[in-house]
Every structure is written in C-alpha cells, then in structure tokens.
Amino acid sequence: MANIRLENVSKRFGRVTALQSINLEMHHGEFFCVLGPPGAGKTTLLRLIVGLEKPDEGDIYIDDERVNDVHPRDRDIAMIFQNLALYPDKSVFDNVAFPLRERKMPAEEVRARVTQVARMLHIEHLLERKPGKLSGGERQRVAIARALVRTPRAYLMDEPLANLDALLRLEMRIELKRLQEQLNETLVYVTSDQVEAMSMADRVAVLYKGVVQQCDTPDNVYNLPANRRVATIVGSPPMNFLTCQVQRADGQLNLVHSGFGFQVIGSDHPLWDCLCRALPTVQEVLVGVRPEDIRLYPERPTDIIAFPACVAVSEPLGAETIVDVQLGRDIIKVITPPTQHFDEKQDIWVAFDMAKVHVMDAQTGVRIYTTGAPEQLQCILPGTCA
Amino acid sequence: MASVRLENLRKEFGPVVAVKELTLHFPDGKFAAILGPSGCGKTTTMNMIAGLEAPTRGSIYFDDRRMNDVPPGKRDVGFVFQNYAIFTHMTVAENIGFGLKIRGVDEATIRREVGKIAELLELTNMLNINAGRLSVNDMQKVALGRSMIVKPRIFLLDEPFSNLDAAFRAYMRGELKRIQREIGQTMIYVTHDQVEAMSMADHIAVMDFGVLQQFGTPDEIYNQPVNIFVANFIGSPNMNFIPCYFRSEDGRGYLVQRHGDARVLLDDQRRQLLERHPGNQDLIWGARPEHLTLHAQPSHPEYLRAMVRFLEPLGPKTVVHLELGEKDTIKVIAHPSYREPAGTVQWIEINPKYLHVFDAKTGFAVR
C-alpha cells in the first residue's frame, strides 16, 4: 500500500506542455481515476509516477519518499498498459510467474502465489494454455494477473479495457472494482471513458490539456462540476450550455436567452452577489442543464412554467430517447423515456428541473452557481422577456 | 439517390467466409446502419457495395441496376472513413469544393454549393482557414462535407467518428441525423457501437460471423430481438439472462430458474406458446435492466427475491448488481440516489410485457 503525491509537477516535450503544475494525492487503498479526452496528458502522468519520464518541475512522493531520482525498478509500482504484451511462447502460468522468477522467488512460493492470483482473476483453468489460444478478455486478465502477482506498492493502469468490446468492458469493469476492493491497494486508473471513471473510482481527477480541472468524488464531479470542461467530459450526452445575456435594470437581475429566461429573486441571492457586486461587467453567462434534467411536453403544462420549442430529431437508444430540441437559437439534447414519442418538427414545451440548473462564467467556463431547490431561480414567462 | 439491394451476397477470403448469403434491402433516402462486433463482416459488406471488393457470389443492385461489374469510380458512391482524408495544404472551402472542381463545375456554382454545405455542417466561419490547422473534429466534418457536396447516389460511412472524443461523437450523432433528414440522402453507416446505430438509423442490420442476425427498425431490434446475440448486443448495460425451464401448475405457467427457485409467472398467451414449444425444458428468460424494478418488501407474491452485491453509480442512474439464487446475477437500473449496501434483500418486479424467452439450444426467441 502506498500514498502517491504529486507536488507542482510540470512536464514539457519540446515546446509542448504536457502537464502543468499538477497537485494530486492518491491515498492508500484508493481507486483513483484520471479521466480526460485523448491528448489530455493522462499517460504522461502515469509515466511520471512509474518513473519512465522525469518531471521538469515539481516533486513526486511515494509514502513521503521523494522518488524523482529513484529508478523505475526501485519504485516498486506495477503498470498495466492498453496494449498487453504477453510472451506468446510461454504458457499463462509462465507469463504470470515471470516477475516472480525474475526476482528469484523459490519455485514453490511462485506456484502458490500464481495459483492464488489466478483464482482471484478466474483464470485457473487457463494456466497451461498459450496466450494465442485465449480470448481478448482472458488475455487482459492474464496481463492483470501478471501485474498483481508480485504485490507492488501501487498499481497503475493505462486504459486497460480500451481495446475490448463493449460487453467485455462491462464485465471487466465489475471485475476490476471487485478486485481492487479485495486487494485494498492503491490503484491509479487512467481512462477516457467517463462511465468507467464514474462507476469504479473512489475519486476522479478530470484532466484537460495538461491541467487538473477538478479532483473529487464521482458524485461531486457529476453534480457540481468545477467548470464547463468537466461538465462536458462527465455525462453522456454532455451537459447543455446556453448563452444568456445578463440584464441588470430597475433592481432586477435577469438571465435571458433567445428561448427562455430566468429571474434572480432577492438581493441576498448568491448570483446577485456574484453578478452585481463581484462581476458587474459580465455581460454573458452560460446556463448549464444536463439532458436528463429537462422535461418535454406535447402541450403547454399548467402547473409549471415551460418554454415553447421545436423537435429537431430524435435519437432512440432503446432504454431512453435523446431528443434534439431547437430552443431559441440553440439546439439542446434532452433525455426522455422511450414511451414518449415526438415527431420531427413537432412544436413542444420545454421545462427545466429548476433544482439542477448551473450557471457558468461565459468567459472562463467556471461554475459560479448551482441551484439546490426549485424556487432559487424564477422562470420568466415566455413572451415577457425581451 | 438510390436504394441498395443485396441478394445472396457472399464473400470468401481463402478458407474464411467473411459474408454469408446476405440478402438486404436499404430503402432510398433512408439512413441504414450495419452493426456488429469486429470481424462480423460489416466492413466487407460496405466494401462490396462501394466496389472495393468483388463478391464471391450474389448480386448488388442500386435501384434496379446490377452493379457487380460497374467499377468503383462509376458507381457514384460517397465514402467517409475513420481516418479522414483531407488536403491539409488547402483551405476548408477548397477541400469541400474539390469534388466539384475536378468535375469542371464553374466557380460561382462551387462557391454557392460550398456555402450550403458549410452551413449545414456549421463550418461557415472556417471556410478560409487552412484545413491542416483544424481540430481533428472539424477535419472529420470537412471530410464529410467533401463527400456530400457531389451528391452521390449512396453515401457510405465506415465508423467515421470512432477516433474522436465522446462529447463530439454525441454531438455529431444528432447533427448527422438532422443533415440526412434535411437532404434525404441514402446513407449506410457501418459501426460496432450500438448507440450510434440505434440513435441515427431508420433501419439496422445486425451481423455476427458474416451472418445477418436481424434487420429492422431500432425499436424492433431493441424490443423484439430475434435471438440471444441481438438481445445481448443491443443495450447497455446488457440484458439479463437467466437459464430456466417451463412448468405448468394449476393452470398457470411459470419459468423456473435452473439454478435456484425464482419463478416468473407467465401471462396466458406466453403460457400457451411455451406449452407447445418442444424445447421448453431448456430455456433462458431475458429482461433488460431498465425494465426491472426493485422493492424493499415482497408486496406482491410474484416478486423475485434477490440480494444486493454491489452498486455502479453512473451519474444519472445507478446499476444495481444482485444475486438471484446461488449462481445467477441480475442487473437492475435504479435511481441515482439508490444506496442500499451489499447484502440487502430486495424484491424484483418484472413487467411481463418486457419479458423475453429464448430457446437455450438454438438461441432463438420463442414467439
């Protein structure tokens, strides 16, 4: 078990900054995910921890020992790559046993340890086979077994499931989560798949263009994203963003879009504080709403305020349907139950879940406010906003 | 535009049969998807339509014209691949207009058509930028535009977005569908991603091992899968499958779990159907995770007793994994606030409307 800490770590390749001032701490026994799109710097981060790259600035600690100058071999960290490299001419047993034999462990101990790990990964029945005779999922398990066999201080995994087909990924996700709970070791897991991060991680660091955007529990990353970038990377389809004009007049504060408007009630409201006192010059904000926090109505509802809109296309997914809706000048995506059917070009009404509305700074994308209850923002009746 | 008809199409590569006796009809002006795991024959099928591969046997028709002997350049087919092919030293406008230029179309017409396509793809403000300076996302849009502008009779797309980031893929799904509707172009889209096929296509052909498994609308494929392969391949998380056998008791029909004592009560129609089915002692029932409901109490006698193993919180929903008897596991979609700990006993409600029954030997749905 180990605690891994990065302090102010930066890494450049020529003129390209791969990572910038990274501060992260991965705790003992934690399932820690690094999530980001391709090119975010995820793999570089792992390579720094394992020692395959050296930071240009900053320090890396493993259990309070500064390891910047420690050779990868002596860091005692196992890494599992996306492209598995198994020895094709060795049996599964010999593949898994390899790291132990290299360390001159007695044969009896090797056998006991390999058997134990094989049982954990459900590959006992495959031990005599060659990797070429295995399925993709089985090979992946063997690669993981080989990393687990020698109880290192921490495990690093670089998109280990990326090359597997969808069903196998689903199965392996469950296996990995279970395995990590059993092992209770530090696991740093890099992925570009938000579902993997959300479902497995204790904490997620969202990385974009070499900068940590947010590091928090999956719940918080999803419900309270630090900025627009995080809200786009986490959630599928991503959060909708609607540019609104900030109108401050006659002691009123309104956020107005071409298709809807909100009024901020009360000068003790946090948005008043932010938009009228702290940022009085800001002209635009982004209103962010997740596709599942919007409801569509074929007729104007009587009990809540809804806004007129028009269906662009429907994307049926089976369990749910994503409806692309023209709201004012923007198209938003809305998740609807499959039982609700809408035609293309159909006129409809859109209502937001007012307890889950986010407001972001249009310039920086930083989230400045999230409602927690429906009455915190008032909808402006359609037709009455400028 | 044209319809595409495949008749008994077969393709062999040496001893390997990549596509087996494939008969399909993609209607004119519609969006069709060919869906399946890698190695299912979907790209080979596409290549035969485009003329890049010659079929071993069988025929390809565009409308009523047999195309087998028409060279690829004469088939009037547009193509977009996973790896975008654009000229990085040309501007976006030059790239999009390229196909018209080499056909000798006059400058004014080219400018007008490029303008239309650019607007459709939301590239208007990038027309004068060098294509090499675009993001990979926009490069793929330019590749789309370049193929679209010549208005081919058939537009073929082979996993065009699979290298791009998830947010852009979600955005382009809606965009491409909207564009297809707007221009009424016949499109055939090859993918291994069931979400892409379901969300965009009017019709989906599901393939496995070179064999067509099912051809239907997204709704048919999802709600009436013809076999276990299709049922398992479509939907995420995938369908639950519980081995079982049929038993009749006091005029009521049940599916009894093979490795446990969970019993699912059948409606009369299903009971009569299964009574007559010769393989009714070796069945599998299937239910999608989103069609099951968890209850804290056995408030109805037909609820199935299960025990929570662990949870997968996904943001807008939580996948609850439960044990049903000693050997079977079952997944249920629950509200994101669901937090019952492992070991909790729960009662599963099955909506008979969404119950699937398969013959375990053949894998076919019993209908």
Q: B182-230, pLDDT tens digit by residue? A: 899 999 999 999 999 999 999 999 999 999 999 999 999 999 999 999 9
* Residue A147: per-residue pLDDT: 84
Taking only the tens place, the pLDDT of each residue in B267-277 is: 999 999 999 99
Q: What is the mean pLDDT of residues B244-254?
A: 94
Q: What is the mean pLDDT of residues A85-112?
A: 92
* Residue B36: per-residue pLDDT: 94
Under the banding of pLDDT at 50, 70 and 90, the label for residue A103 is confident
Rounded CA separation B251/B299 (Å): 23
Please give the backbone phi and psi of residue A318, each rounded to the nearest 5 degrees, phi first.
100, -80
> How close does chain A come to B96, measured CA to CA in Å?
25
CATH of domain B4-229: 3.40.50.300
Rounded CA separation A225/A356 (Å): 12
CA distances from B229 to A139, A167, A307, B42, B241 (A): 23, 11, 43, 16, 11
Under the banding of pLDDT at 50, 70 and 90, the label for residue A133 is confident
Q: Which residue of B has its CA nearest to A224?
A: B315
Q: Given a cut of 80, is residue A48 above it in pLDDT?
A: yes
Please give the backbone phi and psi of residue A293, each rounded to the nearest 5 degrees, phi first.
-105, 25
Taking only the tens place, the pLDDT of each residue in B40-58 is: 999 999 999 999 999 999 9
The token duo for B130 is: 């060098």
Q: Tell me the HSE value of B239 on the side-chain side, using a 13 A CA sphere.
A: 25
Q: Given a cut of 70, is residue A383 above it in pLDDT?
A: no
Domain at A240-380, CATH homologous superfamily: Nucleic acid-binding proteins (2.40.50.140)
Rounded to whole angstroms, the maximal C-alpha distance in chain A is 84
Q: Which residue of A has its CA nearest to B235?
A: A318
Q: Given a cut of 70, is residue A149 above it in pLDDT?
A: yes
CB B4, CB B62: distance < 8 Å: yes
What distance lies between CA B229 and its chain's CA centroid?
12
Strands of the sheet containing A252-256, edge to edge, are A367-370, A358-361, A284-289, A240-249, A252-256, A261-264, A378-379
Taking only the tens place, the pLDDT of each residue in B89-100 is: 999 999 999 999
Please give the backbone phi and psi of residue A271, each rounded to the nearest 5 degrees, phi first.
-70, -30
CB B72, CB B52: distance < 8 Å: yes
Q: Given a cut of 80, is residue A165 above it in pLDDT?
A: no
Please give the backbone phi and psi of residue A168, each rounded to the nearest 5 degrees, phi first.
-65, -35
Strand A154-158 to A77-80 pairing: parallel
**Any CB–CB contact under 8 A between A353 and chain B?**
no
The token duo for A275 is: 């938009």
What distance lies between CA A252 and its chain's CA centroid?
38
Q: What is the mean pLDDT of residues B108-126?
A: 93
Residue with tokens 């990995």: A176
Give the residue extent of every domain in chain B: 4-229, 240-359
- Quick check: B200 and A315 CB within 8 A? yes
Q: Given a cut of 80, is residue A68 above it in pLDDT?
A: yes
- Quick check: B233 and A290 CB within 8 A? no
Q: What is the mean pLDDT of residues A276-283?
A: 86
* Residue B360: per-residue pLDDT: 97
Q: Enumerate the residues of chain A whose CB falls inside 8 A of the CB of residue B237.
A: 170
The amino acid at B226: V
* Residue A53: per-residue pLDDT: 94
Tallying the residues shown for chain B, one arrives at 367
Residue-by-residue DSSP string for A247-281: EEETTEEEEE-SS-EEEE--TTSHHHIIIIII-TT
**Any CB–CB contact under 8 A between A177 and chain B?**
yes
Rounded CA separation A255/A261 (Å): 6
Q: Given a cut of 90, is residue B156 above it in pLDDT?
A: yes
**Any CB–CB contact under 8 A between B38 and chain A?**
yes
Average pLDDT value for chain B: 94
Under the banding of pLDDT at 50, 70 and 90, the label for residue A266 is confident
Q: What is the mean pLDDT of residues A67-72?
A: 93
The SS3 assignment for A284 reads: strand
Among candidates A88, A75, A108, A96, which has minimal Cα distance to A2? A75
Under the banding of pLDDT at 50, 70 and 90, the label for residue B137 is confident
- Quick check: B174 and A333 CB within 8 A? yes
Rounded CA separation B215/B22 (Å): 11
The amino acid at A77: I
CB B190, CB B158: distance < 8 Å: yes
ipTM: 0.83
**Any CB–CB contact under 8 A between B310 and chain A?**
yes
- CB interface of B with A, residues 213-232, below 8 Å: 218-219, 222-223, 232
* Residue B85: per-residue pLDDT: 76
Q: Report the predicted TM-score, pTM, of the whole model to 2 decimal places.
A: 0.87
Q: Given a cut of 60, is residue B158 above it in pLDDT?
A: yes
> How close does chain A come to B162, measured CA to CA in Å?
12
* Residue A385: per-residue pLDDT: 46
Rounded CA separation B282/B23 (Å): 31
In the CATH hierarchy, which fold is given to the domain comprising B240-359?
OB fold (Dihydrolipoamide Acetyltransferase, E2P) (2.40.50)
Among candidates B315, B309, B292, B195, which has minimal Cα distance to A175? B309
Element (H, E) at B102: none
Domain at A4-233, CATH homologous superfamily: P-loop containing nucleotide triphosphate hydrolases (3.40.50.300)
Rounded CA separation A163/A144 (Å): 14
Q: What is the mean pLDDT of residues B317-339?
A: 94
Percent of chain A at pLDDT above 90?
A: 69
Rounded CA separation A224/B245 (Å): 48
> How close does chain A come to B242, measured CA to CA in Å?
16
* Residue A386: per-residue pLDDT: 42
Rounded CA separation B25/B34 (Å): 12
Residue with tokens 């071993």: B56
Q: Given a cut of 90, is residue A84 above it in pLDDT?
A: no
Q: What is the mean pLDDT of residues A275-303?
A: 93
Rounded CA separation B204/B194 (Å): 10
Tell me the Cα Rg of chain A: 25
CA distances from B257 to B240, B309, B325, B366 (A): 13, 19, 9, 17
Q: Given a cut of 50, is residue A166 above it in pLDDT?
A: yes
Q: Given a cut of 50, is residue B236 above it in pLDDT?
A: yes
Give the residue extent of every domain in chain A: 4-233, 240-380
Q: What is the mean pLDDT of residues B259-268?
A: 94
Residue with tokens 């017409």: B109
- Quick check: B198 and A194 CB within 8 A? no
Element (H, E) at A354: none
* Residue A384: per-residue pLDDT: 57
* Residue B84: per-residue pLDDT: 67
Characterize B241-268 residue by residue with b for buried, 16 or more Cβ atoms within 10 angstroms of its Cβ, and e for exposed: bbbbbbeeeeeebbbbbbebebbbebee
Q: How many CB atoms lie within 10 A of CB A341?
A: 12
Identify which has the larger pLDDT, A151 or B271.
Answer: B271
Identify which has the larger pLDDT, A205 or A376.
Answer: A205
Please give the backbone phi and psi of residue B181, each rounded to the nearest 5 degrees, phi first.
-65, -40
Element (H, E) at A146: helix A136-148
Q: What is the mean pLDDT of residues A89-106?
A: 92
Residue-by-residue DSSP string for B181-240: HHHT--EEEEES-HHHHHHH-SEEEEEETTEEEEEE-HHHHHHS-SBHHHHHHSSSSPPE
The SS3 assignment for A23 reads: strand
**Any CB–CB contact under 8 A between B42 and chain A?**
no
**Any CB–CB contact under 8 A between B238 and chain A?**
yes
**Any CB–CB contact under 8 A between A136 and chain B?**
no
Q: How many CB atoms lie within 10 A of CB A270?
A: 14
The amino acid at A222: Y
CA distances from A58 to A8, A41, A51, A74, A205 (A): 5, 16, 14, 20, 18
Q: Enumerate the residues of chain B whose CB falls inside 8 A of the CB of residue A167.
A: 232-233, 238
Among candidates B297, B298, B299, B320, which has minimal Cα distance to B308? B320
CB B347, CB B306: distance < 8 Å: yes
Taking only the tens place, the pLDDT of each residue in A298-356 is: 999 999 999 999 999 999 999 999 999 999 999 999 999 999 999 999 999 999 999 99
The token duo for B316 is: 């807008």
Q: Given a cut of 70, is residue A258 above it in pLDDT?
A: yes
CB nearest B222 (choices: A222, A318, A335) = A318
Rounded CA separation B169/A250 (Å): 44
Please give the backbone phi and psi of residue A18, each rounded to the nearest 5 degrees, phi first.
-85, -40
- Quick check: A37 and B178 CB within 8 A? no
The SS3 assignment for B319 reads: strand
